[in-house]
Chain A
Amino acid sequence: MEAFWVEILKSLVSGLLMGLVFALVALGLTVIFGVMDIVNFAHGEFLMIGMYTTLVTAPLLGVDPLITLPICGLVGAVLGVISYYGLVKYLLRGPVIAQLFGTFGLMVFLRNLALLFMGSEPRILHKGVLVGKSFVVGPGLVLESTKLAAAVLSLASFYVVWWLINRTRLGKALTATSLDRQGARYMGISTELMNALAWAIGGASVAIAGGVLVNFWPVDPNVGLLFTMIAFATVALGGFGSIRGALFAGIIIGFIVQIPPVWDAALGLLGLGGGDAISLHPFKYTFVYLIYFIIMIVRPQGLFGWKQ
């Protein structure tokens, strides 16, 4: 019986840590959507570029991967701004469908760019202060240092973005633009600049998420897809444009992905475990998409409504 509760605890902790990572990935998406109503299909690719940035610069500069995070942030911000001024600005003139296809095209472009420069094989960091290290807490609960750092960083990022949005003039300007673009413009707030800023923040936060993720998650040119899908589900669940929503929804999704081990533990408790037991592991992410589907039908505005 005790083993069962230990397993539940392990799943809860894993779920929380991973959930905070999912939340951080979704943060950028929700900020961009909040300010300009545009869905960025290339969001996962920004993550992938953040991952490659750390993978490449850490050994190049001979520093610990964690130190390259500011570089990731910079690369992400620059990429976001270039994407805005180079593509999105023009997409905004067209119908919504053009915007969707436009960012989709950006996704394909970035993916193949990565394939060209980095090759198709999955790669993972082998060296680093935190890489491969973990410590044991309590009754056999193993905490991986990299996941812990990722979770802490996620919380820190949320706080920084929240502070930026709610406690600075720039943040207020951003909020104004997202609530009423025309009105904000009349007040002298440049929509162009706010849009670019949204893309910069969005790009930077997800690239930093990538920089931390690559400590324990392999990167290849196609890794973005999984995270884009999860980010969409997270943002839909939390509410498009809601930062608070992204945080809570991310954590919930982190828990959902931990259903299979909980199921296995429950089966074990009932004595139904064993070689022939039905395993839910192949369906880990199916549950995430199922939630996305259900939310779309039951409460389309998500947990925390539309923009906040």
Chain B
Amino acid sequence: MMRKFALVLTVLAALGLLVSGAAFAGAPKEIKIGVIYPLTGGAAAAGRVLRNGAELAAWIANNKIQGVDMDMAKKAGIQSLGGAKIKLIFKDHQGNPQLGADLAKKLIKDDKVVGILGCYFSSVTKTVSAVCERYGVPMINGSSTSPALTTRGFKWFWRTTPHDKWFTKDLFELLVGLTQGKVRGVKAVPRQEINTIVSACEKTEWGSHVSSLIKDFAKEYKFNLAKSILYSAKSPDLSSEVQSMLAAKPGAMLFASYTSDAILMIKTLKSMKAKPKLIWGQDAGFDKPEFRQLGADIEGVLIRSVFLPSVAKVKKVAGQVNALYKKRYGVDLDGASARAFTGLQAWVHVLEKAGSTDPKAIQKAANAIDIPGDQLVVPWAGIKFAKVGNETGQNIKGMGLIGQYQMKNGKLTLQIVYPFDLATADMIYPFKGF
């Protein structure tokens, strides 16, 4: 009789544990998101700020923050998931696409992440997203701009940042605008002064696409592209490339470079005493604190950007978040950190809408999400991903900016020169030369 009683008691206890265990398993306390960035190597500078941006966004989402007019700052954690907090697991891809793919597999199988954010280098985003697509794990990309990434018809990939086709078109609009006197502070420039252009782009997925976009737009806008060079971002010497470019006597020099090669390009141009009328860099390396250490040497250099601190003039949250960022990290938000922040923010909104960590629920939420522009630090109209057409997963409400480095009171600042109606200062033209 006692043995039977003991048996029943044991079974009941076991059932009880099972039931309560299931209850605990229902609401996760922690949502793991894998973040893959170049934390070491030539783009480590970018990796650092990307990480900072993502961490700040996670902190704001996980806590109740005063003074930031964003939905995710109002409460702590993901409300539809019982206040679960976001936990970021960072991995370093070192700029290597194969390593990135391996790290993604590890994050999915070992760390069991709910989703992935990354990877900055378009070449790494390409392979990592392929892994995610295979395993059915959602991935949000915040800062890779090769247009090809959203033309693959992937069902588990979403990109918040506008891509290079947008940005390169902005550049040509600026060039034409210069000739029409639309640029603040510059009288109409005769066309032949900037008609000859040269380009030098790093040769992986990102740079090579920018290079071909420049070729296409040059034809469309009828500029003379005298030289189009692809080079290795890891190359320690760019003097032969620069020599060839200068031989074409260009009016405008266009670059797509990561950090260390952007610095090397400018130093090489300086040592060869180059004097083009205009230098433009496709963000990335040209928008980093390390690059800005070149100080007065880069005054006049134009960069495509997605975020400048002066955006705070038109967007309140941008100023609020920038103040927090500056307090924590000592520098202003830039194109990379702002987009990493926005990428993680997109994750928060998607999770909030999904109300579950089930991949299918997240997929449905991502396809339906519509985040209004006033929630974002970046000057976009919002975040809404295309569901049909040949660019599924691409945010259709993004926008680019073109900034110019200018010295003000002995300090290097970045002023907006495009779009023309958002200009914060007169543009310096021509480039003063080395």
Residues of A within 8 A of B (CB): 3, 7, 10-11, 14, 119-122, 124, 126, 132, 134, 136, 142, 144, 146, 216-218, 220, 223, 226, 257-258, 260-261, 264-265, 268, 273-277, 279, 281-282, 284
Contact = CB atoms under 8 A, between A and B. Distances in A.
Contact of B267 (A132, A274, A279): A132
A146 B229 CA distance: 26
A275 B237 contact: no
B295 to A, nearest CB: 9
Contact of A132 (B41, B247, B271): B271
Contact of A264 (B199, B218, B244, B267): B244
- Interface-centre pick from B45, B215, B248 (highest chain A CB count, 10 A): B248
Chain B's interface size range is 35 or more
B247 A223 contact: no
Given A120-B40, A134-B273, A284-B240, 19 more contacts: A10-B243, A11-B240, A121-B260, A126-B293, A132-B270, A142-B271, A146-B271, A216-B271, A226-B236, A260-B240, A260-B241, A261-B243, A264-B244, A273-B227, A276-B215, A277-B227, A279-B229, A281-B230, A282-B231
A264 to B, nearest CB: 4
B232 A257 contact: no
B73 interface: no
B292 interface: no
A68 B193 CA distance: 46
Contacts of B226: 273-275
B348 interface: no
A136 B244 contact: no
Interface of B: 40-42, 44-45, 199, 203, 215, 218, 225-232, 236-237, 239-241, 243-244, 247-248, 260, 263-264, 267, 270-273, 293
Main secondary structure of the interface of B (DSSP, over half): mixed
Contacts of B271: 132, 134, 142, 144, 146, 216
B215 A275 contact: yes
B243 A14 contact: yes
Nearest to A274: B226
A86 to B, nearest CB: 29
Nearest to B232: A282
A265 B240 CA distance: 12
B225 A260 contact: no
Which 4 pairs from chain A and chain B are nearest by CB?
Answer: A275-B225, A275-B228, A120-B40, A122-B260
A261 B228 contact: no
A261 B228 CA distance: 13
Nearest to A136: B273
A281 B225 contact: no
A181 B243 CA distance: 49
A3 B249 CA distance: 11
Contact of A268 (B45, B247, B267): B247
Given A120-B41, A122-B260, A136-B273, A279 B228 contact: yes
Contacts of B40: 119-121
A129 B406 CA distance: 27
Contacts of B44: 119-121
